[in-house]
Amino acid sequence: MGKRMRKVQIYTDGACSGNPGKGGWGAILICDGVEKELSGYEPYTTNNRMELTAAIEGLKALKYPCEVTLYSDSSYLVNAFKSDWLTGWKANGWRTSNKKEVQNRDLWEQLDKLIDIHIVTWVKVKGHSDNEYNNRCDKLATGEIKKRTESEIESQTDNQAENQSENQGENQGENQSEG
């Protein structure tokens, strides 16, 4: 008899400030009552890419093959598996039923490999609603964007102050040499 697979719940969310724009993703893994939060940032991306990345990073964090229930508010992500879009895309050479190239193929291919390792049940949840874990994932994702935006503003402010200081020093030097 084979070893029993661990049961893991993964909640995911992606966010984008502008679409495309700055993006963040968040994931919460729950196994045997233990929670682990993951999050990340991309400087220029789309919301759909962040939704996919959250799922990828959540699944990649698992050290062993697991039985996973993955919760997402992204219809794009969940329907690709529940409606079997992924199988159709692969059969059509990564083209949609309209013969257009599948967007985000690189990420779909990563997910495809990960679902060969894990048994994944996909669950669509309502976003920005009463699901505590989805709301926490949203905060992780948007927090990554906010954190990076604030650090960029601080960096720009520091650079402006540095430039002003250099310009003032140059101006003082010019004034002294004119005298």
Burial class from Cβ neighbours inside 10 Å (0-12, 13-18, 19+) for residue 140 reads: buried
Q: Are 48 and 104 in contact (CB under 8 A)?
A: yes
Q: Let me know if 32 is a catalytic residue.
A: no
Considering 42, 57, 138, 144, which one is annotated as catalytic? 138
Considering 42, 51, 57, 144, which one is annotated as catalytic? 51
Q: Let me know if 42 is a catalytic residue.
A: no
Considering 14, 23, 26, 58, which one is annotated as catalytic? 14
Considering 67, 128, 162, 166, which one is annotated as catalytic? 128
Q: Let me know if 128 is a catalytic residue.
A: yes
Q: Give the tokens for residue 18.
A: 């502008």
Q: Let me know if 106 is a catalytic residue.
A: no
DSSP secondary structure code for residue 129 in this structure: S
Considering 42, 57, 73, 144, which one is annotated as catalytic? 73
Q: Let me know if 118 is a catalytic residue.
A: no
Q: Let me know if 14 is a catalytic residue.
A: yes
3-state secondary structure string across 5-74: CEEEEEEEEEEEECCCEEEEEEEEEEECCEEEEEEEEEEEECHHHHHHHHHHHHHHCCCCCEEEEEEECC
Q: Give the torsion sign (CA, 101, 103, 106, 108).
A: negative
Positions marked catalytic: 13-14, 51, 73, 128, 138
